[in-house]
Amino acid sequence: MDFDFKRDGLKLHGRYENPAKDCQNLVILMHGFTGNLGYHPTDLLAQLAGRLNEQGLATLRFDFNGHGRSEGDFSQMTVLNEIADAQAALSYAFKTWQPKKVSLLGHSQGGVVASMLAGYYADLIDRLVLMAPAATLKSDAQAGKTRGLIYDPHHIPDQLPIWSGLDLGGFYLRTAQTLPIYEVAQQFTGPVCLIHGRGDVVVNKRASEQYHEVYANSELHLLPDADHGFGGSARQPAVDLATHFLSQNK
């Protein structure tokens, strides 16, 4: 079921899927930088949602502001307002479906958002899965190198072109430099599953290793030859790990 919800006047688009009549256990899935909720059956989040539904878990996926079918200008997107998007999705889920347990799953930048939202709502979140969480976005912004962009980290322009027709806002980079990613994340003391590819050239596996160091209750899986999107032969093991871990909250 597709639906829309609001965050500060912006209309955000989501998809809710539930194999049962009620909503005992819900997993909220969050996509990465320039991604979407997964409209194609080969997309990572679509495959994760399908497997979780097979296990009897309800799923909620949504497009962050400026992505997919959600309103907003991509150049105005920041990690901070993506956290606000995720909080709005969480609030909407509780009001609409009254789930008994809620877990979060985030991939890449969505992993950073999920980790911080879980830290802010540690009393409401049951389990957390982070897949190639892009916590290196902070050190990249501090060094003046983000997704192939090179810039002066002390004099950041208003916008930087990522590729034709798509600009990254300077405020994204300014706020990224000071994000308290691990400090907030570690406030969540429930079970955490970290999944990262050893072949990830977008986000170094050190990001997941550092999460593993600060969490009180985490497991770390480093998949050989897996890339950032867990493509090819790495897809099935990654989906299996996440699904098995989240199914334990039933």
One-character DSSP codes across 49-76: HHHHHHTT-EEEEEPPTTSTTS-S-GGG
Instruction: Give the pLDDT confidence of 151-206 residue by residue, as tens digits.
Output: 999 999 999 998 878 999 999 999 999 999 999 999 999 999 999 999 999 999 99
Q: Are strands 58-62 and 10-17 parallel, antiparallel or unpaired?
A: antiparallel
Predicted TM-score (pTM) of the model is: 0.97
Determine the Cα–Cα distance for residues 208 and 95; give it in Å rounded to an integer.
32
The answer, yes or no, to whether residue 250 has pLDDT greater than 70, is no
11 has which bridge partners? 6
Mean pLDDT (the chain) is 96
In a domain? residue 157: no
Determine the Cα–Cα distance for residues 93 and 81; give it in Å rounded to an integer.
18
The CA–CA distances, whole Å, from 90 to 56, 60, 124 equal 20, 9, 10
In a domain? residue 62: yes
In a domain? residue 168: no
In a domain? residue 172: no
Q: Which helix (H) or strand (E) holds 86?
A: helix 79-97
Q: Which domain holds residue 83?
A: 2-135+183-247
What is the length of the chain? Answer: 250
DSSP, res 180: -
Among all chains, which residue has been given the structure tokens 């299996």? 240
36: CATH: 3.40.50.1820
Among all chains, which residue has been given the structure tokens 């570690």? 186
Domain total in the chain = 1
pLDDT for 22: 81
Sheet holding 2-7, edge to edge: 2-7, 10-17, 58-62, 25-30, 101-107, 125-131, 192-197, 218-223
**How deeply is 65 buried, as exposed, middle or buried, from its count of CB atoms within 10 A (0-12, 13-18, 19+)?**
buried
pLDDT for 249: 65
In a domain? residue 167: no
